[in-house]
Each structure stands twice: as C-alpha cells, then as structure tokens.
A = this chain, B = another copy of it.
Amino acid sequence: SPCAPYVCPMPPPASTQGARVFEEADPLVLSGGAALSEVDVVFDTYGTLDRDAGNAVLITHALTGDAHASDWWATMVGPGKPVDTNRFFVICPNLLGGCNGTTGPRSTDPVTGRRYGLDFPILSMSDLVAVHRRLIAHLGVSRLYAAVGGSLGGMQILQWALEAPDEIARAVLVAASSRLTAQNIAFSAVARASITGDPDFADGQYADGAGPRQGMAVARQMAHITYVSEENLERKFGRRFQRAESQPGFGVDFAVESYLDHQGSKFVERFDALSYLCFTRVMDYFDPFPHSPDGIASPDRADGTDGTGSPSGAEADSAGGWPDFLVLSFTSDWRFDTRHSVRIARELVGRGARVDFREIESPWGHDSFLFEIDGYQSAVTSFLA
C-alpha cells in the first residue's frame, strides 16, 4: 500500500484523564434548549501547569480528531515544537459529540439507560465550547495562555473568543471558517446521505463494531478529496496504475483508487458514524457573523441573504478585551480557501481585535495544517513567544 500506517514519533501524553464536567444537579443546557444531565470529557495533557496557571494552552481537534494531539499534531505539539510541551501545559480534549470517551451519541443516556443514538441533541459550536470552558476551570485555569486549532478546531476557538474573550490571551485559527459556503455544505450533505442511507446505519441503533461501514468509507473518500489539493494528488499519483500492468475493470486499478480505498477502510475502524453526522452539522450551522454582508465565494451576492437563524450566533463581550489573533490560511486549500480566513480577520478587526493574518504557501491543500511547512510553524512559534 502507498499509505503505510503513520508511526508516531512522539512520546505518549503525560496524562490521559477523564472528568465529569457537568452532572445531574448542574446539567449542560445546550444552545438548542435541550440539556445533557451528565457530560464526561476525556483529554490528554502534556507538560506541567505553572503555579499561577498561566502557561495553559488548549488544542482543539478537527472533524475526525481525538484527544491525542501528540499523535495527530506532532508537527505542532511536543518538546521544542511551536506548542512547546517543555514550556506549556497543553490540554487537548476529545470533543463533546465525539466517539473517543467524551460524551457523544454512542454514550448511554442516564435518563433512559439506552444509547442516545439519533436522540442525541443537535449541537452548536457554543455547546462544544461550553465543555472546554468547564474543563479548563476544572483544571484550575481561568485564562488560557493560548488556544490553537485547525479547521473545526479553529472554529471552536473563534466561537470561544467571541463568547468569552477574556478567557483566551492568544488565539491561533488555522484553515478555519466563520461560514461554510453552499459547496462546503453540499459536500457534507452528500457524506451524510451516504452514511444514513447505508442499511447498516439502522437509524443509528447499530451495535459496537457494526455500523454503516460502506457509507462511512464513501463519505470519507469523498471528503478526503476535498482535503488535498488537485496538484498534490497529481504529483503523488497522476495516472499511475497500482500494479505493474493495468487491470481494466471497475475495481481498484489506478494508484489513486488504492489510496482512497485505504483512506476509507482506515476511517471506519477509527471513527463513529453518529459523531460524523454531529460534527458536520456543527460546522454547517456555525455562522457567528450572520449579519456581515461579506460572503465567501460570492462577495457581491445580490440577494442580500446571509444565513441568519444560526443557533451559534454570538456577539463579543466588548468589555472583556480581545485575545490577540493569529489567522492562517494555505494557498492550495480549496475546502476553506483563503477567503474564509480573510473574512474572519476582517470581522475581528472590525470589532477592534488585533489580528495577524497570513496566507502560507503550501501545496498540500486543507490538510496543510497538519504538516511542517515553511513559514507555518515559525509563525506560530513567534506568536506564542
């Protein structure tokens, strides 16, 4: 296979922990109105918290990530890395709605004694942030030295900065968006259709180890195409065949097909269908600047609609003072292209925040945020200095 399993060069986290951050007497009231009477969160920590709790850095994961930042973000988090675990106390929670220990759709609803399944509430970005806020309080941190995230990770930090700007001193938003385009939503809608239409989805009542494997594989393959640049795929695979000779047929023949096939198979082993539905919707509905006239793909749109009605609309508490922002995009990212980051930067500047925006030259598409790229890690290092 062209895709040998990634071998993590990093040590395991200093600590993987779990905490019940909301409980029956003090439930998490969601922005949609429902409540979760018990919320557990699983998180990794790296490094040591200073006495004054002033060196805490939060890492927020992307759509299909998990708490193990030293694994999936080894280019960013570790000893001597931009988020230097010799210097910072790093916290990376598995997201609310996820499938790696934190409360999510596959958890047992304490009220019914059954798994939530499709009864798990539709979450907003603000609900994800509510758990992060509670978690850092639980760890004795009242203000983060920094919060750093890519893609959906960056979107959580943007939401937090708008809700409680005094709780974050420095915010790093990489390849994020403040508003999905119709095309972004379209791709996630097709992914969901593939998952929920798989007979093995069984209305979300599948058993452990079962579930919509075929639907998930197709969803992931399609999404993966949007995470990498056309140029990258072309350089890596072009029209090469997987075997020495072409074997014409409908199965895998071109090398790029084998690569996608592998992406799909790996994915169904490590991620849950209901969590995928949950997080794609969190992203679809996120629109913290609903009244901004600036679109993304069509800045001069004529109809003036701007997607109001989002459950995640939020206004900054202007009394609290803003974090400093570092907003980064990548030239070849066509999932959230530079216009998405420009819009975030413009909106924040318009609200009085200090924003350092940079577009980084990279051939790797949206996935660039995971890689080591000239000017990228160094920008984060300087910003966090």
Name the B residues within 8 Å of A221 (CB-CB). 186, 189-190, 193
Residue A301 interfacial (CB < 8 Å)? yes
A185 partner, pick from B239, B264, B277, B285, beta carbons under 8 A:
B239
A309→B253 CA distance, assembly (Å): 12
From known contacts A197-B218, A234-B295, A249-B122, infer whether A257 and B186 are also in contact, taking CB-CB under 8 Å.
yes
Interface string of A251-283 (1 = CB under 8 A from B): 010101100110010000000000001000100
A285→B257 CA distance, assembly (Å): 13
* CB closest chain-B residue, reference A250: B277
Interface string of A208-233 (1 = CB under 8 A from B): 00000010011001100100001101
* CB closest chain-B residue, reference A194: B218
From known contacts A225-B186, A237-B182, A287-B239, infer whether A217 and B230 are also in contact, taking CB-CB under 8 Å.
no
Residue A8 interfacial (CB < 8 Å)? no
A310→B246 CA distance, assembly (Å): 8
Residue A305 interfacial (CB < 8 Å)? yes
A235 partner, pick from B264, B285, B298, beta carbons under 8 A:
B298
Is there contact, CB below 8 Å, between B238 and A182?
Answer: yes
* CB closest chain-B residue, reference A297: B234
Is there contact, CB below 8 Å, between B297 and A241?
Answer: no
Name the B residues within 8 Å of A311 (CB-CB). 246, 248
Is there contact, CB below 8 Å, between B225 and A257?
Answer: no
Residue A70 interfacial (CB < 8 Å)? no
> Interface size for chain A: under 10, 10 to 19, 20 to 34, or 35 or more residues?
35 or more
Is there contact, CB below 8 Å, between A250 and B185?
Answer: no
Name the B residues within 8 Å of A180 (CB-CB). 239
Is there contact, CB below 8 Å, between A245 and B309?
Answer: yes
Residue A38 interfacial (CB < 8 Å)? no
A window 141-161: CB within 8 A of B: none
* CB closest chain-B residue, reference A228: B183
Is there contact, CB below 8 Å, between A281 and B250?
Answer: yes
Is there contact, CB below 8 Å, between B301 and A238?
Answer: yes
A302 partner, pick from B235, B260, B296, beta carbons under 8 A:
B235
Is there contact, CB below 8 Å, between A234 and B193?
Answer: no
A window 295-318: CB within 8 A of B: 295-298, 301-303, 305-307, 309-311
From known contacts A239-B305, A248-B32, A298-B235, infer whether A230 and B181 are also in contact, taking CB-CB under 8 Å.
yes
Is there contact, CB below 8 Å, between A218 and B190?
Answer: yes
A239 partner, pick from B189, B225, B241, B306, beta carbons under 8 A:
B306
From known contacts A122-B248, A190-B218, A248-B32, infer whether A234 and B301 are also in contact, taking CB-CB under 8 Å.
yes
Residue A351 interfacial (CB < 8 Å)? no
From known contacts A189-B254, A189-B256, A221-B190, infer whether A246 and B309 are also in contact, taking CB-CB under 8 Å.
yes
Is there contact, CB below 8 Å, between A183 and B233?
Answer: yes
Residue A20 interfacial (CB < 8 Å)? no
A237→B309 CA distance, assembly (Å): 15
Name the B residues within 8 Å of A254 (CB-CB). 182, 185, 189, 284
Interface string of A92-125 (1 = CB under 8 A from B): 0000000000000000000000000010001000
Q: Can you list 19 A-B contacts with CB-CB less than 8 angstroms, sorted by A residue number?
A: A182-B254, A182-B256, A183-B234, A186-B221, A189-B254, A189-B261, A190-B222, A190-B225, A192-B250, A193-B217, A193-B218, A193-B221, A196-B250, A235-B298, A238-B305, A238-B307, A239-B307, A240-B307, A250-B281
Closest 6 CB pairs of A and B: A239-B307, A234-B297, A182-B233, A197-B214, A234-B298, A122-B248
